[in-house]
Chains A and B, each alone.
Chain A
Amino acid sequence: MMEGKSGKRSFSGFIEELSGASFVASIASILVGLLVGYLVLLSTNPSNAAQAFKALLRSGIADRRSMGQVLYFATPVMMTGLSVSFGNKTGLFNIGASGQFIVGAYVAILVGVRLTAVPGQFRWVIALLMAMFAGGIWGALPGVLKSLRNVNEVISCIMMNYIGMYTVNFLITKTVFDPLKNQSLRVPTEANVPKMGMDLVFRVGNQTSSANGGIFIAVGVAVLAHIILERTKFGFELKACGFNKDAAKYAGINERKCIVASMAIAGAMSGLGGALLYLAGSGKGIDVIDVMAQEGFNGIPVALLALNNPIGAVFSSLFISYLNVGGFNMQLYNFAPQVIEIIISIIIYFSAFSLVLKTWIRNLVSKKNKSRVVE
C-alpha cells in the first residue's frame, strides 16, 4: 500500500520528529505552568505579584553568584531525577530515591569525616564511590524482592525510605554527631568535592556561590546513562524488560537480573546525589529530624518533565533549581516560603502536562500530514 515511499524515511528523521514534538511540548507546558503560577501570585498578593514574579523569573540569572546557586541546587535533584528516569525506562517506579539519597549522603559524610588515614584529595573519591555502593544496595534490595517474589517495588521502596531515614539518624548520633547543631559533623574542607574552577567563575566580588565540581559529575552521569540506555546491549535488555517482561524472557534475556541491575544503578545514582550535596563544601549537614530527604521526591518531577530522558533530566533539574533560587528571592516581597513552595509546585505540576501536549502536538502534525495527502 504505502510501504514503498515512506519506508525510505530515515531512522534519524523519525527520532528527530519525536524529540521535536517532545521539546515543543515541554517548553509549551512550562509556559502554561508559569502563567498559572502568576495567576496564583496575583490572587494571594496582587500588589507585589508583578515584582515577585519578576524575581522568580530573573533571580536565577541576576548575577553569577545566583547562577552558581542554581547549579548547586540542581546537582542533587539531577541525580535523583536520573535515578527515577532510569528506573522508569526499565519499567520500574523508583520512589525510593529519598532513602537511597540519604544513605549515600551518610556514607559519604562518614568517609569524609572519619577516613582520615586517606589524604583529602583522594578521600572524596572514595566517599563518592562508597555512597554509590550504599545507595546501590538500598536500591537493589527492592529489586531483589521484586525479581524473586514479585513484591511491588513501590511498596518496598517506600519502606526502604523510612528504614533509610531512621537508620541514618541513628547512625549519625553514634558516629558523626554534632550535638550543638543536632546534625552531622562538617566534612573537612579538603575532603569535599573539588571546586574545579566553579568558585572562580560563579561569584560576585568576595561572595562565592556554592557551585562546585559536582555538577560536572552529575552531567557526566547523565551522559553515561544516556549511552547505556541508547547505545549498549545492556541498555537494550533493560528497555526490553521495561516494555515487555514476557517478551524479554522469551528472547532469553534474564529479566530478574535486569530488574536488580536497574534498581541497583538507580540506587547508586541517588546515593551519589546525596554524596554530592553533602560534600559540596557549603557547610550543610544532615539534620537529625524525622523528615525524609526532599531531594529524593523532587527527582520524580525532574524525571517527569524530562520524559525519562537522561539528557532531559539535566535540563529539567536546572529548571526546577532555577525556580527554587528565584523563589528564595521572592521572600523579599513578603511572600511566605509556603506560598512560594505552592507556586513552584503549581508550575512543576502544570509543566508535567507536557505528555498531554505532546500527544496533542503529534495529532496536530499527523492531521496536517493527512490533509496534505488529501490534496
Chain B
Amino acid sequence: MGDPLSHCASYCRWPMETIVEMSQITKRFAGITACDSIDLDLRKGEIHALLGENGAGKSTLMGVLFGMHQPDEGVIKINGAPVKISSPSDATRHGIGMVHQHFKLVHNFTVLENIVLGDESTKNGFLVMKEAREKVLAISQKYGLMIDPDSEVSSITVGMQQRTEILKMLYRDNDVLIFDEPTAVLTPQEITELMKIMRGLAHEGKAILFISHKLNEIKEVSNRCTIIRKGKKIGTVDTFNTTPQSLSEMMVGRKVSFDVIKAPPNPGQVVLEVEGLSVASRLTGKNLVEDASFVVKEGEIVCIAGIEGNGQSDLINAITGLGAIDSGSIKINGHEVSNLGIRSRSYEGMAHIPEDRQKHGLVMDFNLAYNLVLQRYYESGFQKAGFLNYKKIREYASALIEKFDIRCANGPATIAREMSGGNQQKAIIAREVDRKPKLLVAVQPTRGLDVGAIENIHEQLVEERDKGAAILLVSLELDEVMSISDRILVMFEGKIVAEADPQKITYQQLGLYMSSSGSAQGAG
C-alpha cells in the first residue's frame, strides 16, 4: 500500500478505453447552479477521484450520472453512445452502480437478501436463492469482499454493510461503480481494506468514481482526479504527479494551512472535574466507562483520542447529561452536576457540539432561526413573559448567519433539513460558540467536512480557548488530535489509559495506546 508504482502499473496495463463521457453537464436547482458545464470522462480500469468542498456539486453530478437528477444541459455517453438516464434503474441497466454515503440497506434482511433485493430470481413465484447465493459467494471470493451472507444487516459492522453495498453493484454486473464518500463512516483499518478492494476492482477492469474530500486517500488510491469548485470544473489531474497541497488549493481556491496555528496554552482554573466516573451498559451491565478521572482547565484544549466505540460517547453523554451515570462525580466550576438536568448544566456555562448533528444537534424541520436559538430561546430578550420575540430571534439569527458564514437559501427562514451537512454543522457551532461557554464539549466537530471548513472550525476552537474556555474535544482523527490539542487523553475499552503531551508523543506511540492495553501510564 502506498507504493505509487503498484497502482500506476495496474493503470497502465489497461487500455485507456473511455466508458463514460459526461460533457457540458449543467444542473440547476431553484436559484442555484449546482453543476455548471462540467466535463468528465471515466476510463475502464481506472479509479477516478472527484474532489470538492461540501456543496461544490460532486453529489449532484453523480446524481445526474446515476439518474437521480435530470441535467438541464449536456450529454452523457456510455461506450460512445449518447444515453438518457432518467432513473436509478435506468442507470443500473447501463451498468452504473452506486454506493451511497448513507447505505440503502434493509436492516432486518440478511446480507444475501439485501444483495438480491430488486433483482430476485424466482421460480413459479417462489424465490430461488440457491443460484443467487452461489453467484454472491463467487463474487465475494473473486474480489476479496468478506461477508457472511446469512447475517442480518442490523448485526454486522459498518465495513461489512459497505461490502454488501459493493456486492449489490457487482451482482448486477455493473461496470461503472460510484462510491460517494465511502470512507467517511469507516475506521482506519476498514479504510485500508476498502482501498485494497477498490484497487482489485479496477484491476478487473471496472471503472470507479470515488467521491471524497480526503486528500490523502485520493492521493493514495486514485489514478486521476477531477476537482470541482462551486459547481465549476477546475481541472482533471494525474494524481501521481500532484501533491495534497496543490489538490487542496485547487479545491478551496486558496492556500490552506494543514497545521493549526496556535499559541501555547495558558491553563487557568479547573472548569470540568471528572472523578471516578463509571457508566454501565443497560443491556449487559458491563462498564462502558470505567473509573474515569480527569480535569479540563480554562484556556486549554483537552482531546480524548481513541478508536470508535471505546466509551467516548458514553463518557460525553454522562458529562453533558444525555446519559445517566452509575458512580463517580462530575463538577463544573466546582458544582456537582451529575444529578442535574441538561438545562442546569447549560446554566453553568456548558455548551455541547453533539456527535450526531441530525439526531441531537438540530430540529431538522425547524427553520434556521429557531435552531440558532434552540439553546437560548428561554433567555429574556428572546422571550418575555412566555411569549417569543420573533423580531429579536430573526435579527440574532441573521447576525449569526453573517458572522459564521452559514450558507442558506432563505436566510433565517431556511428549513434546517434543506441545508448541506457542512452548513448544518456550522449552524450548530455558531449556536454553541456564541453562548460564550465556559466549557465547550465538542464531539467530532469536523467529521465529514472539507479542509476549508475544518480549518475554520479549528480556528474557532482555538479562539474560544484563547478567550478562556475549557474545551473537551473527542476526535477519531489522529491528525486532528495531534494538531489541535494541548493535552491528549487516550481511551481504550472505557478506561483512560494514558495522558500525553502532543508535542512529545509520536503517532506510532499514540496508535499503540489506542489499540492496546494501557501498560505504560502517563507517557510524555
Contacts and interface: CB of A to CB of B under 8 A. Distances in A.
A174 interface: no
Interface string A1-29: 11101111111001000000000000000
B374 A247 contact: yes
A236 B375 CA distance: 12
Contact of A254 (B29, B30, B341, B410): B341
Interface in B394-413: 394, 401, 407-413
A236 B388 contact: yes
29 contacts: A1-B32, A1-B33, A2-B31, A2-B32, A3-B409, A5-B31, A6-B411, A7-B409, A7-B411, A8-B411, A10-B413, A11-B412, A232-B387, A236-B370, A236-B388, A240-B366, A243-B363, A244-B359, A244-B362, A246-B360, A247-B359, A249-B322, A252-B343, A252-B344, A369-B31, A370-B29, A373-B28, A373-B31, A374-B72
Nearest to B384: A233
A234 interface: yes
B453 interface: no
Most buried by B among A243, A248, A251, A366: A251
A14 B360 contact: no
A11 B377 contact: no
A300 to B, nearest CB: 22
Interface in A204-233: 231-233
Most buried by A among B31, B55, B359, B377: B31
A232 B386 CA distance: 5
Interface of A: 1-3, 5-11, 14, 231-234, 236, 239-240, 243-244, 246-254, 366, 369-370, 373-374
B362 A231 contact: no
Nearest to B342: A252
A324 B31 CA distance: 46
Nearest to A12: B413
Contacts of A251: 342, 374-375
B377 A236 contact: yes
A11 B386 CA distance: 22
Interface string B368-382: 011000110110000
B361 interface: yes
Contacts of A11: 369, 390, 394, 411-413
B352 interface: yes
B37 interface: no
Contacts of A252: 341-346, 375
A98 B407 CA distance: 47
A90 to B, nearest CB: 12
Contact of A250 (B342, B383, B408): B342
Given A240-B366, A244-B365, A252-B341, 8 more contacts: A10-B413, A14-B410, A231-B388, A240-B370, A243-B364, A249-B322, A370-B30, A374-B72
Contacts of B72: 374
Nearest to B29: A370
A247 B361 contact: yes
Contact of B407 (A3, A248, A373): A3
Nearest to B375: A251
Given A9-B410, A11-B394, A252-B346, A243 B31 contact: no
B230 interface: yes
Contacts of B30: 366, 369-370, 373
A51 B31 CA distance: 51
B231 interface: yes
B354 interface: yes
Contacts of B369: 11
A10 B230 CA distance: 26
Contacts of A232: 383, 386-388
A239 B366 CA distance: 9
Nearest to B341: A252
Nearest to B320: A250
Interface in B405-426: 407-413
Contacts of A5: 31
A243 B386 contact: no
Contacts, number: 109
B322 A7 contact: no
A236 B383 CA distance: 11
B28 A1 contact: no
A8 B31 CA distance: 13
A247 B413 CA distance: 19
A374 B32 CA distance: 10
A9 B412 CA distance: 9
Contacts of A1: 32-33, 55, 230-231, 407
Nearest to A239: B366
A370 B377 CA distance: 35
A257 B79 CA distance: 62
Nearest to A247: B363
B407 A233 contact: no
A307 to B, nearest CB: 14
A236 B231 CA distance: 37
B352 A243 contact: no
A243 B354 CA distance: 18
Contacts of A250: 320, 322, 342, 352, 354, 360-361
Nearest to A15: B413
Interface string B156-179: 000000000000000000000000
A251 B33 CA distance: 35
Nearest to A250: B360
**Nearest 9 CB-CB pairings of A with B:** A252-B343, A7-B411, A252-B342, A250-B360, A14-B413, A243-B365, A2-B31, A244-B363, A251-B374
A374 B27 CA distance: 10
Given A252-B346, A252-B375, A369-B30, A6 B409 contact: yes
Interface string B39-77: 000000000000000010000000000000000100000
Nearest to A252: B343
B410 A7 contact: yes
A369 B29 CA distance: 9
Contacts of B55: 1
Nearest to A7: B411
Contacts of B362: 244, 247
Contacts of A3: 407-409, 411
A248 B411 contact: no
Most buried by B among A1, A240, A248, A249: A1
Nearest to A369: B30
Most buried by A among B366, B401, B410, B412: B410
Contact of A233 (B32, B366, B387): B387
Contacts of B345: 252
Contacts of A244: 359, 362-365
A240 B361 CA distance: 12
B351 to A, nearest CB: 11
Interface in B311-363: 320, 322, 341-346, 352, 354, 359-363
B346 to A, nearest CB: 5
A370 B27 CA distance: 11
Contacts of A231: 387-388
B318 to A, nearest CB: 14
Contacts of A370: 28-30
A102 to B, nearest CB: 32
A7 B370 CA distance: 16
Most buried by B among A11, A233, A234, A246: A11
